[in-house]
Chains A and B, each alone.
Chain A
Amino acid sequence: MIPVRPLLFLGSALFAIGVFGVLTRRNAIAILLSIELILNAASLNFVVLGQASGHPQGQAFALFVIALAACEAAVGLAIVLGLYRTANTVLADQVNLLRG
């Protein structure tokens, strides 16, 4: 017996905390960490509902979410490194010009 509703509450709490982090953090890496929280909330919901309804696509889409999170982390951190090299800061609100 899977406790579906408590786990869905947990997923939405995780999502809300991630949104709070994205809204308040200024460091670009910290924003990426908060986005990882949001992605984890989504994959937790996928897995719980997929397991509860006995459908394998819940786990499959959680797998896709994890793969895309890996892509997102790699590209995001590469952008942060490039940003640090050109603008010498990782604070998202200090980067206000598009020209490198």
Chain B
Amino acid sequence: MQPPIVLAQAGLWFLSALVIAGAILVVTLGNLFRAALSLGVVLVGVAGLFLLVGAEFLAFVQILIYVGAILTLVVFAIMLTARVHRPAGSTAAASQWPAAVASLALFALLACVIAAIPVPTPTAVGGAPVSLQELGRELITTLVLPFEVISVVFVASMVGAIAVAASPRQRRAQAPPSSSA
């Protein structure tokens, strides 16, 4: 179901401003914890944009996984490693201007390409936004192999993350006694 057109326009501008401002804060804030919180703002804004284009399921997945899980993980890592009270040294001032020029050039290039190409319009294709039923059917028919591969990758990466993050003391305790003798 699509929202009314005026509301959709206002929501588009509001969410775009929110996303851009949050993203700029993510890359410029010296305090890493605040940067992570503004990443949360960006993620919620992108979820709102998903809602706006009619992808409700993706919006909920975005909030559930990104804001719920990944951001929590990031905040944990920041708490465990970073010295939050010492914001200096999080950005390198010397390389900031070349990087800004490079990313602005990248944006200009992408914007030129987007302005030049024809974009698909719903009236031209004639299709309504994809429903959740269609998405589910696609996931278990055409995309069933990528779907399963993603789950294997997920399990492998979780086992790998646990193996990497386990503290050396625990690893030594679990090793066979012959290695320590």
Of listed B153, B160, B164, B168, residue having the most chain A CB within 10 A: B164
CA distance A33 to B179 in the complex (A): 39
Of listed B36, B77, B125, residue having the most chain A CB within 10 A: B77
B164 / chain A contacts, CB cutoff of 8 Å: 75, 78-79, 81-82
Contact (Cβ within 8 A) A29 B23: no
Question: Per-residue 0/1 for B41-67: is the Cβ within 8 Å of any A Cβ (1 yes, 0 no)?
Answer: 011001001100111011001100110
* Interface residues on chain A, number (Cβ under 8 Å): 73
Q: Is the interface of B mostly helix, strand, loop or mixed?
A: helix
* Interface residues on chain B, number (Cβ under 8 Å): 89
Which of B's residues lie within 8 Å of A, judged by CB?
2, 5, 8-9, 12, 16, 19-20, 23-24, 26-27, 32, 35-36, 39, 42-43, 46, 49-50, 53-55, 57-58, 61-62, 65-66, 69-70, 73-74, 76-78, 80-82, 89-92, 95-96, 99-100, 102-104, 106-107, 110-111, 114-115, 119-123, 125-130, 134-135, 137-139, 142-143, 146-147, 150, 153-154, 157-158, 160-162, 164-165, 167-168
